[in-house]
Structure 1
Amino acid sequence: MRAHRSSAVAAIAVAATLTAVAGCAAKSDGKGAGGKGAIAVTASDSACKVSAKDFPAGHVQFAVDNKGSQVTEVYVYAPGDRIVTERENIGPGTHVEITAEIKPGAYEIACKPGMKGHGIRQKVTASGKGAAVKRNPKLDAAVSAYRTWVQEQADQTLPEAQKFADAVKAGDVEAARKTYALSRVGWERTEPVAESFGDIDPKVDTRADGLSDGQKWTGWHKLEQSLWEKKKISADDKKLADQLITDLKDWQKRVGKAVINPTTMANGAKELLDEVATGKVTGEEERYSHTDLIDFHANVEGAQKAYELLKPVVAKNDPALAKELDKQFAAILKQLDGHRDSNSADGFASYDTVGKDERKTLSDSVNALAEPLSKLAAAVAEAK
């Protein structure tokens, strides 16, 4: 679940501790740096200014400067609020650059001060001029393989989720606890694809502090609260278990229709690290069950899968970047292996047993991987 905060104060606190995870982030010099032809997006607490409302389709670079006092997010939405690309955790005074493959059409660019709500939106148009993207055949192969893998993850999730739902419907708290985290692995590995649809993620993976006004709380985390905090299963929970399966089947059917290209794969890998930074390292995602480590591992696995499929092209185009990514993926997975627990149902230690210093070490590893990973989309876009 992409991070949402119930208050601007919470958002600022997260940014203060996780600034280095904000992407290819650097403190802004106020000049709106970006490559030639980049679309400048200037975000503040009350505005979202875009330097061009009409630009050529194709590989587009957005140069984002947060001039506000709150952490912000920037999204590019296609009609129906389908997410084309996004970047979270853009701290005050921070500059990030986002590379995306944009097809001709109408879009909205949204800035979300405090990382919440509908956002301040600007309508933009990508014209047909420059729309043709010449792609290395190896990248087409990577997209095809990734699409197959994402579908496999969705297909494998349903049986695990059904075990969880059946335990809930049987009123068996212990069985439901044991199957809860395992039911989420495929989702966590491919979350950016699921989130791209816009409407499924809020149904199945919203936390209590991420609810929109008037939204009924459904999905995994509502059931997580019942199992660990309330320690009982209500009649409504049993209905929610059925609803979870219905929503996940919808996701399973729609995965094959997701818009996937090399830059969405690369940006998705970075988004998964953002998920780790804002939810798993902080312990906010699984606040009742403390099963954050298996989510953490699944997010990293998903990011690594996207990278590994893109690697044949990236290694040729930017060998230094590929070498650094290999190093940092190996390092973070080794650290996670150190927190395995064979006595746990999901194979990892409960996150409430991980001390402050150990969490800091994990956070540092996320930072070390996030920095080179933020360069992956640009390296892919430049590949010939």
Structure 2
Amino acid sequence: MRAARTSVVAAISALATITAVAGCAQKSDAKGSDAVQITASDDACEVSKTSFPAGHVKLAVENKGSKVTEVYVYAPGDRIVTERENIGPGTSTSISAEIKAGSYEIACKPGMKGHGIRQKVSATGKGAVAGRDPKLDKAVAAYRAYAQQQADETLPVAQKFADAIKKDDIDGAKKLYAPSRVGWERTEPVAESFGDIDPKVDVREDGLEKGQKWTGWHRLEKSLWQAKKITAADHALADRLIKDLKDWQKRVGTADITPTSMANGAKELLDEVQTGKVTGEEERYSHTDLVDFEGNLEGAETSYKLLKPVAAKNDPELAKDLDKQFAAVGKLLDKYREGKGFVSYDTVTESQRKELSDAVNALAEPLSRLAAAVVTK
């Protein structure tokens, strides 16, 4: 029996401001002169326009490098306006964004690491945005409430995890580690949009920037499973984790959320599964990757379900395909349940991991078209 999905709380007041939206086509058709052409390579990030009208903006991205890359649009403070990950060598993609007037940076990240190769750009004018279906306002409000709920419910579990660390209770901390991360995994795109919280809370050792101090869950994971001991430094790291999570909890209510950013956030969660969970890299010490996998999947499905009334009207075949693929991935994931959790991921064979990867890919393709279905008139 598949575990029940987390219910979405009732919709609250609608948002008034649209800030950022990312489109999801896998191949770019934004070849016209109105598009901002971004040519990424291993050592460059060329932008065809450094100034463009605010409002609806098309970004046509081509990766001419030898490495998988990412493209970000950053607002001041490295707040993520929109992003696209996993752009393979020799491939193209398009991003549709609603960007307010202001100064930004476009960053290409060869190898999907680091600060990125950045270009300063600006959006000018008033950039009026067309009205949208009231059902989408309702979806945004409900998703905002959902994201806040996940943060609120994470803190008590994370506090118990931190308390176990400070009591030098290795077994207790191990049991609480994965549950303390679930709410974060469900809403990770919202947390990542702030720019400064994710590197403190969820960075892996191989993702550290030069000079960056390693803090957060994965630093403590390494102590618990690899070092198999808790130190005074870990006590301080546990306190720091709670401090940073409280910052996240406080700031969720200020996140820029739009219908299309919800759709693209769902796709980002599938990318998280594909690049970190299926590979076993995310939880390399604890091997609790399938708990994260489920959290990402639940968050993506929540976004889809909230947007479905509009998406199904605009593109009924897409909605049918998404219903089918979400069910297929969930059914496959069920094979690895054990008690109230999942088997240790190091017991999952390479062929089984490929099966999971294929199922995620089958879902990611139609999910990449959800944003377009939401904005279709």
TM-score by length of 2: 0.91
Query: CA shift at 1:139, angstroms?
Result: 0.7
Partner of 2:307, secondary structure, is: helix
Letter of the aligned partner of 1:81 in structure 2? Answer: D
Counterparts of 1:200 and 1:348, CA distance in 2: 28
Partner of 1:242: 239
Q: 1:34 aligned to 2:30?
A: yes
Q: 5+ unaligned residues in a row in structure 1: which ranges?
A: 1-22, 27-31
Paired residue total: 353
Match runs of 1:1-384 below 5 Å: 24-26=25-27, 33-34=29-30, 36=32, 37-342=34-339, 347-382=341-376, 384=377
Letter of the aligned partner of 1:25 in structure 2? Answer: Q
CA contact (8 A) 2:100 2:126 kept: no
Partner of 2:178, secondary structure, is: helix
Determine what percentage of the aligned residue pairs are the same residue.
72
Partner of 1:49, secondary structure, is: strand
Counterparts of 1:350 and 1:100, CA distance in 2: 40
Counterparts of 2:278 and 2:68, CA distance in 1: 18
Counterparts of 1:375 and 1:38, CA distance in 2: 19
Partner of 2:83, secondary structure, is: strand
Counterparts of 1:133 and 1:271, CA distance in 2: 25
Query: CA shift at 1:188, angstroms?
Result: 0.3
Partner of 1:80, secondary structure, is: coil
Query: CA shift at 1:25, angstroms?
Result: 3.1
CA deviation profile, 1:194-242 (whole Å, cap 9, x unmatched):
0000110000101000111111111100000000001111110011001
Query: CA shift at 1:35, angstroms?
Result: 6.0
Counterparts of 1:266 and 1:107, CA distance in 2: 22
Query: CA shift at 1:54, angstroms?
Result: 2.1
Query: CA shift at 1:52, angstroms?
Result: 2.1
CA contact (8 A) 2:188 2:269 kept: yes
Letter of the aligned partner of 1:222 in structure 2? Answer: R
| Alignment RMSD | 1.3
Counterparts of 1:38 and 1:134, CA distance in 2: 22
Partner of 1:4: none
CA contact (8 A) 2:100 2:127 kept: no
CA contact (8 A) 2:59 2:95 kept: yes
Counterparts of 2:25 and 2:90, CA distance in 1: 13
Counterparts of 1:191 and 1:222, CA distance in 2: 18
Query: CA shift at 1:136, angstroms?
Result: 1.1
Q: 5+ unaligned residues in a row in structure 2: which ranges?
A: 1-23
CA deviation profile, 1:347-382 (whole Å, cap 9, x unmatched):
111101111111110000110011111111222222
CA contact (8 A) 1:67 1:93 kept: yes
CA contact (8 A) 2:161 2:180 kept: yes
Of stretches 45-54 and 214-223 in structure 1, the one that deviates more from structure 2 is: 45-54
Counterparts of 2:193 and 2:76, CA distance in 1: 12
Query: CA shift at 1:24, angstroms?
Result: 3.8
Of stretches 178-187 and 348-357 in structure 1, the one that deviates more from structure 2 is: 348-357
Partner of 2:80, secondary structure, is: strand
Partner of 2:263, secondary structure, is: helix
Which aligned runs of 4 or more in structure 1 are off by greater than 6 angstroms? none
Query: CA shift at 1:317, angstroms?
Result: 0.8
CA contact (8 A) 1:83 1:196 kept: yes
